[in-house]
Amino acid sequence: MKTLREVFRVLKTSGELHVADWGLPANFLMRVASRGIEMLDGAETTADNFNGLLPKLIADAGFETVEETDSFNSLFGTIRLHKSRKNING
pLDDT surpassing 60 at residue 62: yes
**pLDDT band, residue 65 (cuts 50/70/90):** confident
**pLDDT band, residue 59 (cuts 50/70/90):** very high
Q: What is the pLDDT of residues 15-35, one digit of tens each?
A: 999 999 999 999 999 999 999
User: Would you list the domain boundaries of the chain?
Assistant: 2-86
**pLDDT band, residue 87 (cuts 50/70/90):** confident
Q: Which residues contact 85 (CB under 8 A, 6 or more apart)?
A: 14, 15, 16, 17, 63, 64, 65
Q: Cα(45)–Cα(54) distance, rounded to whole angstroms?
A: 12
**pLDDT band, residue 90 (cuts 50/70/90):** low
